[in-house]
Structure 1
């Protein structure tokens, strides 16, 4: 038996992230992996040839490595632990064939500004390889989407998930994708679901509050979100 733990319980967000992973990869990088639950679950289900656990907290990674060393009965090459900044992923080191080796980098649980800083660095590391990203910022979703569009990322899939009465946008993107990515979301909305409509109204209200300060130029953002509303009225 290869399983590390048959009783891994993922949060709603992690379940939705996992649900977006529908094809196998050569390498999956679970960045800011915290306790490594997502990576362990992906390892159990063999979603990639190698699962990489990445964080800057040594104690957390030590515990993950102890768990894997003790319980994983597959090959040692099935997983790697990296105590490094996610901005410095050694993608080149783990790419033997640029056309056949595929990478998925997962970044979740951090703010939008930090996420864009990481992507600035990762862009130069990954530009020559087949790399996809799953991103779940905790805020500044519009700014992150703007950034991705500016840097010519295309949409592969997206979801809107709710956890502890809060909505989170999950984006699966890649520069190799030709599907249009929008600033306000397209595939994720289900306005038959009251939670989705409530999330949209709260988002509009947030930017309307920001607009009370004349230094905040957010009128165009409000208009973009409001254009989604007629379809549900």
Structure 2
């Protein structure tokens, strides 16, 4: 009798271990990791227009933002592309998320200038986690393909950008491009601060973002003061080491912004 009880307990343990292993390895039920505040903000912006036909998550790195958007837009048939030009990153994504690659998700190893845009479609580009100069370079490499699209009332090209540095350079570059600023916002994430911009391709009379931003600074907060102080310190040091017109203009612009917001 004792042997029978032990045997049944052993079988139950084996069954439990099998079920746990099946659960751990089941690709259908593994949830995606949560997005951090910076990416949550971009996700919420993207969800304002849930009927995008195509979403391009460029410099996708871990691919989380694009994967969350793919999961959220399944009902709309949105095709999400996770795009990076670093082969190990793409290889890892293709292995890790092979089970999620359906007809509406692609993981691509390609530089931005080789992207093939859909015609007569609402398309969203997301560029986050790289410097402002890199963001500007990526947009410039995509722009010829955008400009080559035949005009259509069904066409809309939007961009969500979240540079991690060199924002003044990016804003300067955007002022020479045919994009209108739809919205901008200041986002804090674990002590790091980001300037987010929502842009729309508008070749006729675009309204680009200003050099240092406008709406994102209101209300003026302590986090924004700290961020502006860091920029003033950065461009102050650059102006001493390399007194170029650009560095001095950036320094003057942020000093004027601080005075406008905080009276200092």
Aligned ranges 1:137-156 → 2 under 5 Å: 137-156=163-182
Aligned ranges 1:113-124 → 2 under 5 Å: 113-124=133-144
User: Equivalent residue for 1:9?
Assistant: 34
Aligned ranges 1:208-227 → 2 under 5 Å: 208-213=236-241, 215-217=243-245, 218-227=247-256
Question: TM-score scaled by structure 1?
Answer: 0.83
User: Equivalent residue for 2:228?
Assistant: 200
Aligned ranges 1:77-88 → 2 under 5 Å: 77-88=103-114
Contact 1:161/1:167, CA 8 A, preserved across alignment: yes
CA gap 1:220/1:71 in 2 versus in 1, 3 angstroms = closer
* Aligned mates of 1:172, 1:55 — CA distance in 2: 21
Runs in 1 of length 4+ with deviation above 6 angstroms? none
Q: Which has the higher contact order (CA 8 A, sep 6+)?
A: 1
Which stretch shifts more, 9-18 or 222-231? 222-231
Question: TM-score scaled by structure 2?
Answer: 0.74
* Aligned mates of 2:221, 2:240 — CA distance in 1: 30
* Aligned mates of 1:16, 1:89 — CA distance in 2: 25
Structure with larger Rg: 2
Superposed CA RMSD in Å reads: 2.4
CA gap 1:214/1:36 in 2 versus in 1, 3 angstroms = closer
Give the superposition deviation at 1:51.
0.6
Identify the structure with the greater helix proportion. Answer: 2
CA gap 1:187/1:128 in 2 versus in 1, 3 angstroms = farther
